Chains A and B, each alone.
Chain A
Amino acid sequence: MTEQPGATAPTPYDDQHAAPDAEAPATYDAPPTDAPSTDVPAQPRRKHRVLRWIGWSSASLGALALIGLCAYLVDVTSQWSDKVDELTVISTDLGQRVADAESSQADAEARMVAAQTELDNATSRISDLANEEAQANDRESVLIDYVDAMISCAESRQELIDVLTDSRYFFPGKTSLQVEKETTTYCNGVSSDFATFKTEIEQ
């Protein structure tokens, strides 16, 4: 078989396709039907218009929504900003009050420490005075005892003098020498104890 010049080589499937119209678009979307060939592009155009309309509408609605949202956010931001200003004023006031309260507390604590120190000093002084008075009373008791002992000593010696100077007097059951010895021992003891006591209280 020889090829005709100018003719294209048929493809193996050429005979299975209908001969295309020279004006028809090269598309397989619409199978060949009996409908007139001019109705085929009208539907996509309308569809396109609808889609375009939907798109513009959506875009417009979106833009409006965005504008509304922006307006809302501006308003909310403004409200929050006002609230921040109010809270700043309040926190400043509270901070000042806290500072005043801390200052007052520090002052009160200092006064309390001073008062506590004064109270401690006062109670200590009261204890000291009470103790000094008690010790003085103790010493008074001791001194009264010593005075009693010394009076007793003096009376014993007076009795001894009376016996020694008047022959009518005597000590029953004892000699004057024994009595003199006992009296001297007693009086020396009193004197010695009193000297020790004086040394103690002088310390």
Chain B
Amino acid sequence: MSRLAIAAAGGCAALAIAACGVIPGPPPPLDANFIPEAVSPTFDPTAVTSDGFTTEQHLAVRIRVQTCDGWATGSGWILSDHEVVTNRHVVEGGTRIEVTTYDGRDFTVTSSQLAPVADLALLTLDSVFTETAEYEITSMRSLDPTTIVGYPSGEQLVVEEGHYLSAEMDGVGDSKQLVWSLRGHVEPGSSGSAVYNDEGKVVAVVYAGDEFQRSVAWPVVWLDRLLDDPTQWEPNTNTCS
């Protein structure tokens, strides 16, 4: 009997000691501030332009060319504060060349030079531009995204999303050089449009297209060679009688 009582008392004591482990303690003091530190927004105000147009749109120009036989329009892009790049066939033989910016400002070209092989031309103006494009000599892979910015049919500025298809022989001119085939709709008037990669760098210059949403462009490596050696440029002359 006494052993049983001692055992029961010991059991109760052990239970009581064990129970102490689950007896709740007093609440901890409250934090001074329950609002966690928020992650700072990643908005970069320099990434947007002040007027709702993209940088690519700012850099696109419409080109009007007066020739001996009439006039024509094309597209181009701003290379420096006084230079615009377009196609050779757009300005060749031009007697008066004007460029119009995305917001309707008109400037007259003071001189123009033509590339000997690639369908490229360099127009020179007074120093008027404040934004300039960056070009990048790069290799593209199939389906890499591209953006063509120009003035198809000489009308409103159009941003055409597309992608790179392949490198192929120049099937429009007789240069027998490799040019880029792109998926992207262009029309007459788009010639000279800049082709941007997904980093916003100019990688090619459109010079032709077809009705199957395919366009052809000269990679900017051809422009870079001419800029490195300006003596290769040919003067743009006209022979109006």
Give A contacts to B, CB under 8 Å.
47, 51, 55, 58, 62, 65, 69, 72-73, 75-76, 79-80, 83, 86-87, 90, 94, 119-120, 122-123, 126-131, 133-135, 137-138, 141-142, 145
Contact = CB atoms under 8 A, between A and B. Distances in A.
Contacts of A55: 5, 9
B107 interface: no
A1 to B, nearest CB: 47
Q: What is the interface of chain B mostly: helix, strand, loop, or mixed?
A: loop
A47 B5 CA distance: 13
Interface residues of B, number: 33
B26 A134 contact: no
Contacts of B53: 123, 126
Contact of A138 (B2, B12, B30, B64): B64
Contacts of A137: 64, 98, 100, 106
A142 to B, nearest CB: 7
Contact of A119 (B16, B52, B62, B156): B52
B24 interface: yes
B66 interface: yes
B26 A79 contact: yes
A71 to B, nearest CB: 12
A128 B71 contact: no
B71 A141 contact: yes
B51 A69 contact: no
Nearest to B27: A83
Contacts of A69: 23
B154 A138 contact: yes
Interface string B5-49: 100010010001000000111110010001100000000000000
Contacts, number: 81
**5 tightest A-B contacts by CB?**
A130-B104, A123-B52, A83-B27, A119-B52, A131-B156
Contact of A134 (B16, B51, B100): B100
A87 B30 contact: yes
A76 B5 contact: no
Contacts of B66: 141
B155 A135 contact: yes
A142 B30 contact: no
A108 to B, nearest CB: 13
A126 B24 contact: no
A127 B30 contact: no
A134 B34 contact: no
Contacts of B24: 73, 76, 80
B103 A128 contact: no
A119 B25 CA distance: 60
B222 interface: no
Residue in B12, B26, B51, B64 whose Cβ sees the most chain A Cβ within 10 Å: B26
B73 interface: yes
A159 B52 CA distance: 58
B149 interface: no
